[in-house]
């Protein structure tokens, strides 16, 4: 028990360290008084700051962690992902009744081994480990654990593979539009002109459209920057005007015949693939939007901060992932080399006679075997011990 007497004052008291705060008080004359005061302090601390039992099970700790995530303002998409990953994969593997602090790095390695055998991508496995790591870091903060066992786990083998998308051209988008009826076409063009996420497009209402100021409000919830206002281009303005005749009594731009909100649009993209062979999604249209506006024109080219704001990003690194198809800008960059006088003559040095070291450039000193006694026959690409 952390009840001791201070030698300098001769008073009894307690010292308790919790969540980065050192609680201490030494004002009592006897040890019994200090013990009683310490118990009262713990009861008060438990009421004000709930103390979590260090022997808590995995299921209980996940529930506490989800409550904590709600309290700090995690988005509903993040909460849903955490719930699904813990319930479907992490808890069944480690056993819900197992104490959280009993999970070792070997258990996590075994979990990764099992997941690598499943027909899923490394990126998906990395998401599982990221969620588990968030739980373990929370447990350390709550003093349930002392050390995060993931520190001993190498995550190189589940590092997501970088995939460079080819992107879709304007001609491909025209082919996709040619097989759509009018209401499907309007939805397709709305995504193209706004770069909205699918959930943002399906939840937008007529109250969010301001024809007078040529503005539209996208009420995204994925990140802080998702809630944004953007200006209409002429194509978006005409698309929204054409949607007027489908308005009816529903507050939503895109709705069922009874006025209820549409929850999914899978059939539209499946139809495009079936009739054209072009595999495209709402995410691809968002990519096309980002790359097109980032390319700009000869008169104006927006900076990446503007592009990021239009996409509703809070991190510029996220925006950079969308700018993969700026081929014209890359070609213009490397074409600068054609305007610089660089010799294209490549010499093979076949004319150099064996033993003639005078013709060897000074930069290739390692080829002067006979004139360099310290060389000992080593090649720069084949060192030996």
The pLDDT assigned to 248 comes to 80
In a domain, 10, yes or no: yes
Which residues partner with 348 through β-bridges?
Answer: none
Structure tokens at 329: 């800008």
The pLDDT assigned to 288 comes to 87
The helix-helix angle for 182-194 and 282-295 (nearest 10°) equals 50
In this structure, are 11 and 87 located in the same domain?
no
In this structure, are 44 and 93 located in the same domain?
no
In this structure, are 66 and 196 located in the same domain?
no
In a domain, 378, yes or no: no
Counting Cβ atoms within 10 Å, is residue 367 exposed (0-12), middle (13-18) or buried (19+)? middle
In this structure, are 266 and 322 located in the same domain?
yes
In this structure, are 199 and 308 located in the same domain?
yes
In a domain, 178, yes or no: yes
In a domain, 128, yes or no: yes
Structural domain that includes position 183: 170-331
In a domain, 244, yes or no: yes
In this structure, are 190 and 325 located in the same domain?
yes
User: In whole angstroms, what is the distance from residue 179 CA to residue 58 CA?
Assistant: 51
In this structure, are 139 and 257 located in the same domain?
no
CATH of the domain at 268: 1.10.443.10
pLDDT per residue, tens digit, the chain (385 aa), is: 578 888 888 898 988 877 667 788 888 889 888 888 888 888 887 666 666 777 889 999 999 999 989 888 888 888 999 999 999 999 999 988 999 989 999 999 999 999 999 999 899 999 999 999 999 999 988 888 888 999 999 988 888 777 666 778 889 999 999 999 988 999 999 999 998 888 888 889 999 999 888 999 888 766 666 788 888 989 999 999 998 888 888 899 888 888 888 888 889 999 999 999 999 999 889 888 888 888 777 777 788 888 888 888 877 777 776 665 555 566 666 666 666 565 555 555 555 455 555 555 555 545 555 555 554 554 555 444 4
The pLDDT assigned to 304 comes to 81
CATH of the domain at 78: 1.10.150.130
In this structure, are 146 and 124 located in the same domain?
yes
The pLDDT assigned to 370 comes to 53
The pLDDT assigned to 287 comes to 86
In a domain, 32, yes or no: yes
* Nearest partner of 365 among 379, 352, 351, judged by Cα: 379
Count of helix runs (H) and strand runs (E) in the chain: 15, 6
In this structure, are 242 and 154 located in the same domain?
no
Task: Give the chain's domain count.
Answer: 3
* Degrees to nearest 5, angle at CA 91 with 130 and 100: 80
In a domain, 351, yes or no: no
On whether the CB atoms of residues 198 and 319 are closer than 8 A, the answer is: no
The pLDDT assigned to 385 comes to 45
Residue at a domain's end among 100, 129, 158: 158
Distances (CA, A) of 124 to 85, 104, 112, 256: 10, 22, 11, 33
In this structure, are 20 and 97 located in the same domain?
no
In a domain, 323, yes or no: yes
Residue at a domain's end among 288, 303, 331: 331
In this structure, are 214 and 84 located in the same domain?
no
Q: Is the pTM of this model over 0.85?
A: no
In this structure, are 37 and 134 located in the same domain?
no
């Amino acid at each position: 028990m952390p009840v001791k007497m201070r030698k300098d004052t001769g008073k009894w008291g307690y010292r308790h360290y919790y969540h980065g705060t050192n609680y201490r008080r030494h004002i009592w004359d006897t040890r019994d008084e200090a013990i009683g005061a310490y118990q009262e302090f713990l009861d008060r601390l438990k009421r004000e700051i709930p103390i979590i039992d260090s022997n808590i099970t995995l299921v209980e700790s996940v529930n506490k962690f989800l409550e904590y995530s709600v309290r700090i303002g995690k988005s509903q998409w993040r909460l849903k992902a955490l719930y699904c990953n813990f319930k479907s994969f992490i808890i069944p593997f480690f056993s819900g009744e197992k104490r959280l602090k009993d999970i070792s790095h070997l258990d996590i390695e075994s979990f990764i081994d099992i997941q690598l055998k499943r027909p899923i991508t490394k990126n998906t496995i990395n998401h599982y480990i990221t969620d588990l790591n968030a739980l373990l870091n929370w447990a350390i903060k709550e003093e349930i654990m002392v050390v995060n066992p993931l520190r001993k786990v190498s995550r190189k083998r589940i590092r997501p593979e970088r995939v460079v998308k080819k992107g879709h051209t304007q001609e491909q988008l025209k082919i996709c539009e040619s097989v759509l009826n009018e209401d499907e076409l309007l939805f397709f063009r709305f995504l193209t002109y706004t770069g909205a996420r699918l959930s943002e497009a399906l939840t937008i209402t007529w109250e969010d459209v301001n024809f007078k100021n040529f503005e539209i409000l996208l009420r995204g919830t994925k990140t802080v920057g998702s809630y944004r206002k953007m200006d209409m281009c002429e194509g978006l303005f005409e698309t929204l005007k054409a949607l007027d005749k489908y308005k009816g009594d529903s507050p939503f731009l895109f709705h069922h015949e009874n006025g209820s909100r549409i929850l999914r649009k899978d059939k539209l993209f499946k139809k495009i693939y079936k009739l054209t062979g072009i595999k495209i999604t709402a995410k691809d249209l968002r990519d096309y939007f980002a790359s097109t506006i980032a390319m700009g024109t000869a008169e104006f080219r927006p900076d990446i901060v503007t592009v990021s704001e239009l996409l509703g990003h809070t991190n510029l690194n996220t925006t950079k992932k969308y700018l993969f198809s700026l081929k014209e800008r890359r070609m213009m960059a490397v074409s600068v080399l054609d305007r610089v006088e660089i010799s294209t003559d490549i010499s093979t040095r076949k004319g150099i006679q064996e033993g003639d070291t005078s013709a060897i450039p000074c930069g290739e000193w390692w080829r002067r075997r006979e004139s360099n006694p310290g060389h000992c026959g080593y090649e720069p690409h084949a060192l030996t011990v």
